[in-house]
Structure 1
Amino acid sequence: MDFLGFHLSNNLFVAPMAGVTDRPFRQLCKQLGAGFAVSEMVTSNSLLYGSAKTLRRANHTGEVSPISVQIAGADPKMMAEAAKYNVDHGAQIIDINMGCPAKKVCNVMAGSALMQQEPLVAKILEAVVAAVPNTPVTLKFRTGWNSENKNAPTIARIAEASGIRAVAIHGRTRADQYMGEAEYDTIALVKSLVRIPVIANGDITTPQKAKFVLDTTGADGVMIGRAAQGRPWIFREIAHYLNTGQILPPPRVAEIHTVLRHHLADLYEFYGEETGVKIARKHISWYTKGIASAAHFRHAMNQIQNPVAQLVATDEFFYAQAAANDRLLFDEAQAA
C-alpha cells in the first residue's frame, strides 16, 4: 500500500493506545504483519517535553519507518509547536488525537471533546499543517460526541480542507466509549465524501471481520487496537486471509511463549527492570486471556517484583501448557 509517500507492506494499521503502543509493542506488531503503527499520545504541553514519560513515548530508536507520532491538545499554537518538536526529533508523520474518550483528556477539551467545537478543530488542524509543511498530518476521530451529534462527515471535510492527508475513524461516539457495536455506515459515508485515505477502526477482531469492514465501508485500510493486545499475530492472520481467503491455524504454544518472552525482554530494556516488570503484567494477562487455568497464574504474576522471577513463572506456565497440549485454542470472544 502506498500511503502518504511511504510504501507499506499492507493496509493494516496499529491503533494508537495510551499505555499500550509503546516502541516494543509497535515493533512487535510490525514484525508480525502490521503495515503501520502510530505512537502513544504525546501531550502538546511543552512543559512536559523533558519528562521521562514523554521522552519514552517519543522514542523510535530502531523502529521501522514510517514513524508516526500522535499529539493531543486543544490549543492551536501549542499543537503546532508540538508537531514541529516531534518532527525535529524524528517523526515522519504527525497524527492528531481527536478520538480519545478518556475523561482526563476530554475535561481539558482535548481528544474527542474537540468534536464539539468545529471552528476550533479547523484552527488546530490548519495550525499543525502549517507548522510542518513537509510532513504529512493525519487525524483520528470518532463518529461524533454522542448519538445526537454525529458530525464525523463535517469533521472529515474540515480535515480535508485544512490539509490533513488521511483520517482514521473509530466507529463509535465519545459517549459510547467502547460499549456497543461499532457503526460502519458513518465511516462509509465519510469515505464517500472525501478524497483522502480513510482508515476504519472499531471491533475488528478477526480476519473475517477485517474483510467485512473493508467491503462494507470502502475504507483504504483497517486499524486494529484492543484485538491486538496479547494477540499481535492478528495482523499476519488478517493479511493472510485478505491475500488468500484462508484462515491460518492458531499459533502453537511454543511460538506464543517465544513471542511473549521477546516482548518481555524488550519491555525490561525499554523501561528498566522495575517499571518493565509492572508494564509486563498487563501484557502477560492479555497473552494468557482465554487459556484454561490461566486465572491463578495471572493472579500470582501480579505479586512478582523482579524480571527473573517473572520470566521463570512465565516459562513454567507455558511449559506446562505445552506438555498438556501442543496448541492453545483461544476462544475468539475472550481473546478479542
Structure 2
Amino acid sequence: MRNGLQIGDVWVPGRVLTAPMTGITDLPFRLLASRLGAAYVATEMVAAAELARARPDVVRRAAVGEGLPLTVIQLVGRDPAAMAEGARMAEQAGADIVDLNFGCPAKEVTGSACGSALMRTPDLACRLIEAAVEATSRPVTVKMRLGWDDANRNAPELARRAEALGVRAVTVHGRTRQQFYTGVADWTAVGEVKAAVSVPVIVNGDIINADDARAALQQSGADALMLGRGVYGRPWLAAHLERALADGTVMREPDREERLEIVVEHLRASVGFYGLPLGLKMFRKHLGWYVEQAPWPEDPLERRAAKARLCRLEAPDQVEIALAELWRPLTHSGNSAVDIGSQFAEAGTA
C-alpha cells in the first residue's frame, strides 16, 4: 500500500483515515489522534445552516487548532444556499478539505431529509454538491452509504454524478441506511463505486484491525480506508494500522504505561477545551471505551464494574488517581498533557 493519498490539491500523508463522528472527533480527540500519528481525522458532523448562523456549539464542532497535519470539516444539510455558505466558512476557518455527509443513518438526521436520506433524493444531493464546489476553492469530498436500502443501492450512480460536478474523493460505508450498523459491511459492493469513478474511493465499515483493513482494501479495490467505531477507546488505531499495512508487521497495542499516558492527556485536553464540568462530562464516553478496550483487569465483569465507578467520579484528578490504581502507578510526568491542556485553557472554548 502506498503511503499517501492525493485529494484534489491536498496530499494526505497516509491511507488510513478517521471518519467524522458526532460527539467523538472533537478537537481534543483530533489533536490526540494526530499526535499519535493519524494522518487524517475529520471534525464532527457540522450542520451547514447552523454554522452559517454561527451557533456557538456548532462552531465549536468545527474548531481547528495548531498541531493538526490536516483539517477536514464535514458539513451536513439539505439547503444548497446554506451548504454554500457553510463551505465558504469552512474554508475561512482553515479547512484543507470540505466533506459532505450523505451517509449518516441517525433518525434525527434522516428525518430532516439530510445525511443518508439524500440518497433517496439524488437530484437534491447533486445541487448540494454543486453549491459547495462553487463556493470553495478547497477540494470537496462526499461520504455516503451503498444506498437507502437493498432495493435502492445507487452509490455508483451518485458517485459518478458527484465526480462530474467536481467532487475529488468519495467515501462509502458498506451498508445501506436501513441496515444502520447491523449485519456486516459489504466491502465488495464498495468496489462497484470504485469501478464507476476515477477519483479516489475510500472504503468504510467494520474495520477494527489489520486483517480487516487488508480484507477491506482487497475486496473493494479502494484507494484508502476509513475508520469509524474502531477508534472508540483506541485513538492510536489509525497510526498503528498504517504501519501494519506498510510493513506487514503485527499491530501492537499500547502497554499499560503508554495507555495511561494517552488517557490522562485526553482527559486534561477535554477539560481544558470545554472547561468544567462539561469537559469531564464529554470525556466520560471516551473513558468508558478506554476501560472496556484495555485488557486489565482480565475479567470483563471487573472491567465493567471499574468503568461504572470511574464514570461516576466528579473531579478530573479523582479519575486520574482511580485509573492509575486500576492499571498501574502513574509515573509519566505529564508534560505533553499539561502543554495541550494549557493550550486549550488559553484558547477558552474556541
Instruction: Say yes or no: does 1:147 pair with 2:150.
Output: yes
Match for residue 38 of structure 2? 34
CA apart distance, 1:180: 0.6
**Which range is displaced more, 28-37 or 194-203?**
28-37
Q: Report whether the alignment pairs 1:272 with 2:281.
A: no
Residue by residue over 1:4-40, the C-alpha shift from the partner in whole angstroms, topping out at 9 and shown as x without a partner, is 2233331110011000001111122222232211111
Residues in 2 aligned to 1:49 and 1:24: alpha-carbon distance in whole angstroms:
24
Q: Letter of the 1:50 partner, please give it.
A: A
1:240 matched to 2:230? The reply is no
Structure 1 residues 315 and 52, CA, compared in 2 at 3 Å: closer, same or farther? Answer: farther
Q: Is the 8 A contact 1:188 1:219 kept in 2?
A: yes
Structure 1 CA distance for aligned equivalents of residues 199 and 25 of structure 2: 25
Q: Which residue of 1 aligns with 2:319?
A: 310
* Residue 27 (structure 2) aligns with: 23
- How many residue pairs match? The answer is 321
d(CA) in 2 for partners of 1:65, 1:247: 26
2:64 aligns to what?
60
- Written as runs of structure 1 = structure 2, the 5 A alignment for 1:106-121 is 106-121=110-125
> In the aligned structure 1, how far is the partner of 2:127 from the partner of 2:234?
38
User: Distance between the aligned counterparts of 2:246 and 2:149, measured in 1?
Assistant: 37
Conserved 8 A contact 2:50-2:58: no
Matched, 1:210 2:202: no
Q: Does the 8 Å contact 2:141/2:167 carry over to 1?
A: yes
SS at match of 2:185: coil
> What is the Cα-based RMSD across aligned positions, in Å?
1.7
- Tell me the distance in 1 between the aligned counterparts of 2:240 and 2:50: 40
Shift of 1:243: 1.5
Report the TM-score when normalising by structure 1.
0.91
Residue 307 to residue 51, structure 1, CA distance change in 2 (3 Å): farther
Deviates most, 159-168 or 308-317: 308-317
Q: Distance in 2 between matches of 1:101 and 1:297?
A: 32
- C-alpha distance in 2 between matches for 1:160 and 1:58: 25
Partner of 2:328: 319
Q: Deviations over 1:227-267 (max 9, x none)?
A: 01111222232122212111033321111111111111111
Secondary structure class of the residue paired with 1:175: helix
Check 1:131–1:205 CA distance in 2 against 1; reply closer, same or farther (3 A cut). same
How many angstroms does 1:48 deviate by?
Answer: 6.7
The verdict on how the C-alpha distance between 1:283 and 1:167 changes in structure 2, with shifts beyond 3 A counting, is: same
In the alignment, is the contact (CA less than 8 A) between 1:28 and 1:263 conserved in 2?
yes
Amino acid at match of 1:79: M
- State the match for 2:105 in structure 1: 101
How has the CA–CA distance of structure 1 residues 2 and 183 changed in structure 2, closer, same or farther, with 3 Å as cutoff?
closer
What is the rounded CA distance, in whole Å, between the counterparts of 2:208 and 2:51 in structure 1?
38
Q: Which amino acid aligns with 1:310?
A: V
CA distance in 2, matches of 1:250, 1:136: 34
Query: Retained in 2: the 8 A contact 1:14–1:29?
Result: no
Q: What is the deviation of 1:320? A: 7.2
User: Helix, strand or coil for the counterpart of 1:129?
Assistant: helix
| Structure 1: gaps (5+ residues) | 323-336
Aligned partner of 1:83: which letter?
A: A
Match of 2:96 among 92, 95, 113: 92
Unaligned 5+ segments in structure 2 are 332-350
- Residue 343 of structure 2: aligned partner: none
Partner of 1:332: none
User: TM-score w.r.t. structure 2 length?
Assistant: 0.88
In the other structure, the counterpart of 2:193 is 190
